[in-house]
A and B are shown apart, each in its own frame.
Chain A
Amino acid sequence: MGRYILRRLLSVIPTLIGVTLVIFLFQRLIPGDPAVAMLGERATEENIARIREQFGLDRPSFLDRDALAEGNLAGFFDSQYSRYFGRLMRFDLGESIHRRIPVAETLKERFPATLELSLLSMSIALLIGIPAGIASASKRNTALDGVTMVGSLIGVSMPIFWLGIMEIMLFSVFLKWLPTGGRLPTGVEIQSITNLLLLDSLLTGNFAGFVAALKHIILPAVALATIPAAIITRMTRSSMLDVLQEDYIRTATAKGLSLRIVLFRHALKNAFLPVITIIGIQAGTLLAGAVLTETIFSWPGIGKWVYDSILGRDYPIVQGVTLLISIIFLFVNLVVDLSYAILDPRISLE
């Protein structure tokens, strides 16, 4: 197991290099000059050139053939990408073009908000999806199954932005139960430890803070959880239905085990493999979905930040956030692969 983990961690390195290349390339493919975006349409040629030089935007993207022709080998490799990569090696994600603040600093500040939202959404999705899927499969073709299946179909097809707006209209505007956006109301302070507000408020025994944070997070979390919950429900159901047809389920029943033990001990562990794969993939879409959700609910996480940065062509921010999301996704996949081996003894990792 240890060797497998090490091997998988090492294999992350080439994948990450690939990710940096793709991130870098896609940004160059988007039309528009960041220097112009920064200085405005009326900027003088001179100023634009200065900014371009300052940020290295005047360098070629990958390799400088002119420098090679002059016999300047160092210059040949001195490109936007090599500078970007070199900075990455020093954990330097660059500076925001507009605000001149290190990207890593803002990331550290904003990422916990997204993490908290994603974790809560995933928890909601799992708490709804898995029990609903099991119940639906064990009561196949009953009214309960029908309601669950129709509900999950609606959930899968629901556009997040529409659901978010509907939530705001119902609970915030009409019923006035919950705030329309943000993470905390002004005036409420939560001592920061992990920067996950729900956790921090509990750790510091700040009950009022906890309630305030919960009130703010619940609408975006539900909106973000809808699609994963629906997909996990459907996947759990179909996987359970497959497993319940297996001979070993009949063996377990023939032993005299109760339906509950047959379902939860003998069926669920087998049915869980495809569900875990889906959960891993959903973890990725959850982070992507956060961009929309955070924008609708003015959630101060990386989703809203990257949305603003794309509009402003703030390359370093977009690069930094994309890289972080990629690393998380790679890590989640590693955990998924490891959990296969834990759940299914037939899968050997060595």
Chain B
Amino acid sequence: MDGLIKLENLRTRFHTEDGIVNAVNGVSYEMAQGEVLGVVGESGCGKSVHALSIMRLIQIPPGEIYDGEIWFDGRDLLTLDEKEIRQVRGRDIAMVFQDPMSSLNPVYTIGFQIVEALTLHTDLNKKAAKERAAELLSLVGIPEPEKRLDNYPHQFSGGMRQRAMIAMALSCEPKLLIADEPTTALDVTIQAQIVDLVIRLKEELGMAVMWITHDLGIVAEMAHKINVMYAGYIIERGSAQDIFKRTKHPYTMGLLGSLPKIDDAPGTKLFSIPGLPPDLVKLPKGCPFFARCAYRKEQCKTEMPPLEEAENESHIVACWRWREIQAGEIQ
């Protein structure tokens, strides 16, 4: 697979009244064309901010992308001027957001909002764009698409709005679709439908998908690669097999351990990682997981562990002690 997008040492921070919030702290990875990448982690771990940084949708100020490179199509997205990045947004990289109830403009019809994206990035005239919009709606499984084009968002259910958002995102056949927790606000049955829909469309259209979620189950099912993020760092990255079967980082273990299991005895208390993620204004010098880690040692407090290869070249982890943990030398 050829490379599609490459992030190098991406750093994003926000200037707030309480100080500088270090949201993304040196994120580097590569995505291949047609790849499905899962990005997981707790709330506030920098998943969304790093995705918004790729699209340059961070509000500046208070936000600031102060270091790093994002290579896409032979260009560093961070060096593009306003006009150039607008060409990338919606056409090359499209995004679907968390809350479909508030992500569509309430005063314009669904059709208008899809046609708007189409006429912006393609040569289609109004009429052709409207026909294409109807096709897109039917592609995402909305019945009677021609009629539905004239509906306003409030006439759609939550699941249908998310489908419309996906139709809008796919309108210009982007190379990368970033889905930022697109199922979080939806009912469980609708969640599954949306996941299936995106997988099907990915197969049909061949785009790459970045799926941001805190739901490990979803990424286990669909992702080629998974980034586990914590406090603005990638702390472990690998294939779904690597992450779920050959887990290395204590935090990832904690995340997996906190999932309820089908064979748990009734009344079993769910495991949870003790403590809270670190304050992003006062990041610790060493490993960000130090305070909550059961395996911590003195070195972890003072030195940030680098991402290093574990077992195979695609599986990387940032932990001083993963070998010892692996070997069962410490409990």
Residues of A near any B CB (own CB < 8 A): 141, 246-248, 250-259, 266, 269-270, 343-346
Given contacts A247-B97, A247-B99, A346-B152, contact A257 B116 (CB under 8 A): yes
B124 interface hit (Cβ, 8 Å): no
B86 touches A251 (CB 8 A): no
B90 touches A254 (CB 8 A): yes
* Shortest beta-carbon distance from B192 to chain A in Å: 23
B214 interface hit (Cβ, 8 Å): no
A251 touches B106 (CB 8 A): no
Count of CB-CB pairs between chains A and B under 8 Å: 70
10 contacts between A and B (CB under 8 A): A247-B97, A247-B102, A250-B97, A251-B105, A252-B105, A256-B86, A256-B91, A256-B121, A345-B106, A346-B106
With CB as the reference atom, state the residue of chain A lying closest to B154. Answer: A346
Provide the residues of chain B in CB contact with A252, threshold 8 Å.
105
CA of A271 to CA of B121, assembled, Å: 27
A248 touches B105 (CB 8 A): yes
Provide the residues of chain B in CB contact with A247, threshold 8 Å.
97, 99, 102-103
Give the residue of A250, A257, A269 whose beta carbon is less than 8 angstroms from that of B120: A257
Give the top 7 A-B pairs by smallest Cβ distance, nearest first.
Answer: A256-B90, A256-B89, A255-B90, A247-B102, A248-B105, A345-B152, A247-B103
Provide the residues of chain B in CB contact with A343, threshold 8 Å.
107
CA of A253 to CA of B120, assembled, Å: 12
CA of A257 to CA of B90, assembled, Å: 9
CA of A250 to CA of B59, assembled, Å: 10
A270 touches B107 (CB 8 A): yes
B105 touches A258 (CB 8 A): no
Report the count of interface residues on B (CB-CB < 8 A): 30
Give me 10 other A-B pairs in contact (C-beta within 8 A), A256-B90, A266-B108, A344-B107 excluded.
A248-B102, A250-B57, A250-B103, A251-B105, A252-B105, A255-B120, A270-B106, A270-B107, A345-B106, A345-B154
CA of A247 to CA of B116, assembled, Å: 17
B5 interface hit (Cβ, 8 Å): no
Provide the residues of chain A in CB contact with B104, threshold 8 Å.
248, 251
Provide the residues of chain B in CB contact with A256, threshold 8 Å.
86-91, 117, 120-121
The winner among B82, B104, B107 for most chain A CB atoms within 10 A is: B107
Give the residue of A246, A254, A344, A346 whose beta carbon is less than 8 angstroms from that of B89: A254
With CB as the reference atom, state the residue of chain B lying closest to A245. Answer: B59
Provide the residues of chain B in CB contact with A344, threshold 8 Å.
106-107
